[in-house]
Structure 1
Amino acid sequence: MRLFAAVLPPAAAVDELALAARKLRDMPGAGGLRWTERAGWHFTLAFMGEVPDERVPDLTERLARAAHRTEAFRLALHGGGRFGDRALWAGAAGDLAVMRRLAERADAAARKAGLDMDQHRGYTPHLTLARSRAATLDLRPFVTALDAFEGTPWTVGDLALVRSNLPRSGVPGEQPRYEEVERWPLRAAG
């Protein structure tokens, strides 16, 4: 199964971001973007790709330990950014050092479970809003429009393991479906 570790924002945070994203969809060039669905909005911490069934128990045990070693932390959706002109994303503010540490621990858990994590790069907290359909679309105006976005902070209290079910229908625009496999509480703050 195709898996990743993630922080899942609460419904209230998703609602706030949805209002901001709705305005972006009215901007010139928005039709050249493939917008992600709010049901799929998450902060990926470590993408594991295809994980053999026999590795899942070891992976989940190691992720549970990573969650237990990490203190709950404050986070808010904040501003935005882009990866070149390929992807537009909402950013985060808050205790990003703890979030990065959780991402590193999730990555280490996957490596220790025997998964190939060589594609994993330095962690940039982001929630993907859209991907470009054309290599020539300038995403900078969208990023600028997100500059003032500031969501309400919440406490991240758990680490989720999510399964990504890729589209199979062949219908243009169909998006992956995400299914929560398991969730572990983070250590209480203080």
Structure 2
Amino acid sequence: MNDQIQPPSPAATVRVFIALAPPDEAKEELARELRPAYRAYPGMRWNRIEDWHITLAFLGELPVSAVPLLQPPLAALAAAHRPLELALRGSGHFDQRVLWSGIDGEIDGLHLLTSQVRTVVRECGIPFEERPLRPHLTLARARRGDPSSTSEVAAALAGFTGRTWPAERLHLVGSNIGRGPGPIHYRDIRSWQFTGSH
């Protein structure tokens, strides 16, 4: 998620969220565990591992002109915050359609960071839906008519425990959802390193 997104014309909108991302080694560790499922369930819509992320605040479609408002306060927040120690653990599904990997580690710190991120968004005057944080990585979506695949893969991954890793950057991400056919791709608008001590 390190590619920079180029801002469209001033009248355009971009779908935006704020997230953390596991490092490559942690993603590759889970991807190795998923290889049998990739082979067994090719009909599932698997997310690209480079797009795996932990959403802290989903802002939806924003005018491109609103995006720069977020950048200075998010940069300040990251500068004041230390990295969180997290890990990927277990699996589950939402409504038998969405397969996810769970998050372990400094969960209280993750909830606090999420609250701080959402306060920044509100203080920028940007309305968004306040969904409860359910820390996870979305791995895949089942195609209609085949809901059992998610529960089967989740059961196979239930005992997975990945390495612990530091979440070192805060990502402001744009997506191309609604921009035409094809898979969803995400690109960093900006990201900031956590450099604080608390």
TM-score bucket (shorter structure): 0.7 to 0.9
The match for 1:89 is 100
1:130 aligned to 2:160?
A: no
* 1:180 counterpart SS class: strand
Q: CA deviation at 1:23?
A: 1.7
Q: CA deviation at 1:135?
A: 5.3
Structure 1 letter corresponding to 2:191: R
Which stretches in structure 1 are left out of the alignment for 5+ residues? none
Change (3 A) 1:84 1:154: same
Q: CA deviation at 1:66?
A: 2.8
More divergent stretch after superposition (85-94 vs 135-144): 135-144
Structure 2 letter corresponding to 1:20: E
Give a deviation string over 1:11-34, Cα, whole Å, max 9, x none. 10111111112122234xx24421
Distance 1:103 1:23 in 2: 34
TM-score (norm 1): 0.87
Structure 2 letter corresponding to 1:183: S
1:116 aligned to 2:127?
A: yes
Give a deviation string over 1:19-75, Cα, whole Å, max 9, x none. 112122234xx2442111112111111111122222222211222233234332101
* 1:151 counterpart SS class: strand
The match for 2:19 is 6
Change (3 A) 1:152 1:113: same
Q: CA deviation at 1:131?
A: 0.7
Change (3 A) 1:188 1:114: closer
Identity %: 35
Give a deviation string over 1:114-142, Cα, whole Å, max 9, x none. 22212x31101111111121255123222
Structure 1 letter corresponding to 2:85: R
Aligned residues: 184
Distance 1:117 1:155 in 2: 28
Q: CA deviation at 1:93?
A: 0.9
* 2:134 counterpart SS class: coil
Which stretches in structure 2 are left out of the alignment for 5+ residues? 1-13
Report 1:12-91 matches (<5 A): 12-27=25-40, 30-91=41-102
TM-score (norm 2): 0.84
- Whether the 8 Å contact between 1:67 and 1:184 is mirrored in structure 2 is yes
Runs of 4+ in 1 over 6 A off after TM superposition: none
